[in-house]
Amino acid sequence: MKQFIAALPKVELHLHIEGTLEPELMFALAERNGIKLPYADVAALRAAYDFHNLQSFLDLYYQGAAVLQTEQDFFDLTWAYLSRCQAQHVVHTELFFDPQTHLSRGIEMGTVIRGISRALDQAQTQWGISSCLILCFLRHLSQEDALATLEAALPYLDKIQGVGLDSSELGNPPSKFSEVFARASALGLKAVAHAGEEGPASYIWEALDQLKVCRIDHGVRSVDDPRLIARLAEEQIPLTVCPLSNTRLKVFDKMADHNLLQLLDQDVCVTVNSDDPAYFGGYLQENFEALARDLKASREQLRQLALNGVQASWLPVSRKKTLI
Ligand code: ES4
Ligand code: ZN
């Protein structure tokens, strides 16, 4: 089964680049930048990755991102992730970055985007791995802050294909960001949003109707609303589901409880993704393996999930055809 999964051409649609920061690289960058981490060593840091909900993870994730300071740091981070893609036969990736996490520390937008995109360009040239870049707004901050962030990205619009919405979901509904998503759409950017991870199904409706997103990130709470499931299936609106993330953040108590195959059975366009692999115990290969092991997903189901990833991507139809 491992070999079957490894041989599938895979596409990743829900990946936070700051969430690929492995403890070893975090320590190396801390040293390079003269930052002292509040952990004795890599083992102590890994031991702290024991989360009970989304917020307990986000606190550590934002703290870890503080070691990222120079363009080279963002290059090294992204290159390390793309090397994993190459090793795992991930042929296309659409990745998120959280500029507000960096702007608030005095790092410039150009530093972040140039570092990430130089690595993306090199992976395309060297390995043929294609990519899209998605600028995420932090939903625990204000819409004004999001608007200012989009403004700061204007000189780099040629390097960005879409906008997203992430961070603390409960109490921060999509409707809070309708203006900034309208502005992004007017600029020609595509849109996605995290919804229905910890938040209710109503947030998924809001993301679709008010933010006009073309995919829902997570969306597993859609099962609470049969009318929503019918719409997702009818319109083939993709969900970018992240199995290891959902179990690590206790969205489901254990993998066997995950509803991914239920969603697939109801004709929803479910895709498999790794979210924050350095924190949640695995990249795309390990997420697929967990479905085979703990949900007893069949080869046919795994192949369908991989195909859904291709279909749900922003690749041109001509390239999709070569992958299905
Ligand atoms: C995230 Cl798992 C998850 N949910 C919401 N926001 C995030 N940012 C990084 N990972
Ligand atoms: Zn996410």
Tens-place pLDDT, residues 211-248 = 999 999 999 999 999 999 999 999 999 999 999 999 99
Token pair of 72 as six digits: 């080279």
Contact status, residue 293 vs residue 257, Cβ threshold 8 Å = no
pLDDT, one tens digit per residue, over 57-106 is 999 999 999 999 999 999 999 999 999 999 999 999 999 999 999 999 99
Q: Is the pLDDT of residue 112 over 90?
A: yes
Determine, yes or no, domain membership for 277. yes
- Which pLDDT score is estimated for 307? 98
Q: Show Cβ contacts of residue 29 under 8 Å, excluding neighbours closer than 6 positions.
A: 35, 67, 68, 69, 73, 76, 77
Domain-located, residue 198: yes
The neighbouring-strand residues paired with 193 are 216
pLDDT for residue 30 is more than 90: yes
Mark residue 171 as left, alpha or beta (left: phi above 0; alpha: psi -120 to 50; beta: remaining).
left
pLDDT of the residue at 320: 97
- Indicate which CATH number applies to the domain containing 111: 3.20.20.140
Nearest ligand for residue 169 CA:
1
pLDDT tens readout for residues 137-174: 999 999 999 999 999 999 999 999 999 999 999 999 99
**What ligand is nearest to the CA atom of residue 168?**
1
Average pLDDT of span 185-196: 98
Q: Whose CA is nearest to atom 7 of ligand 1?
A: 167
DSSP 244-306: HHHHHTTSSSSGGG--HHHHHHTT--EEE--BSHHHHT--HHHHHHHHHHHS---HHHHHHHH
- pTM for this structure? 0.98
Question: pLDDT tier at 324 (50, 70, 90 boundaries)?
Answer: confident
pLDDT tens digit sequence for 114-131: 999 999 999 999 999 999
Report the binding-site residues for substrate: 276
Rounded distance from Cα 322 to ligand 1 centre (Å): 31
Write the CA distances from 129 to 126, 170, 185, 221, 294, integer angstroms: 8, 35, 26, 32, 30
The total number of structural domains that make up the chain: 1
Q: Is residue 258 part of a domain?
A: yes
Give residue 271's pLDDT band: very low, low, confident or very high (50, 70, 90): very high
Average pLDDT, integer, range 266-283: 98
Q: Average pLDDT in the 105-112 region?
A: 98
Largest CA distance in the chain: 53
Query: Ligand 1 pocket, 18 CB below 6 A?
Result: no
Ligand 1 closest atom vs CA 166: 6
User: Residue 209 above 90 pLDDT?
Assistant: yes
Q: Which residue is closest in CA terms to ligand 1's atom 1?
A: 167
Residue 37 belongs to some domain of the structure: yes
Q: Is 274 in the pocket of ligand 1 (CB under 6 A)?
A: no
Would residue 318 count as lying in a domain? Answer: no
**Per the domain annotation, does 319 fall within a domain?**
no
In the chain, % of residues over pLDDT 70: 100
Residue 272's domain comprises: 2-312
Please state, in angstroms and as integers, the Cα–Cα distance from residue 219 to each residue in 197, 241, 286, following that order.
6, 7, 21
**Stretch 44-54: mean pLDDT:** 96
What number does the ligand 1 atom closest to the CA of 16 have?
9
Task: Return the pLDDT at 170.
Answer: 97
Look at residue 270 and tell me whether its pLDDT is greater than 90: yes
Distance 271 CA to ligand 1 centre (A): 17
Length of the chain: 324
What's the rounded Cα separation, in Å, for the pair 213 and 203? 12
Establish if 275 belongs to a structural domain: yes
Asked if 134 contacts 97 with a C-beta cutoff of 8 angstroms, the reply is yes
Question: Is the C-beta atom of 19 inside 6 A of ligand 1?
Answer: yes
Q: Could you tell me if 106 and 33 are in contact, meaning their C-beta atoms sit under 8 angstroms apart?
A: no
Calculate the average pLDDT of the chain.
98
Q: Is the pLDDT of residue 294 over 90?
A: yes
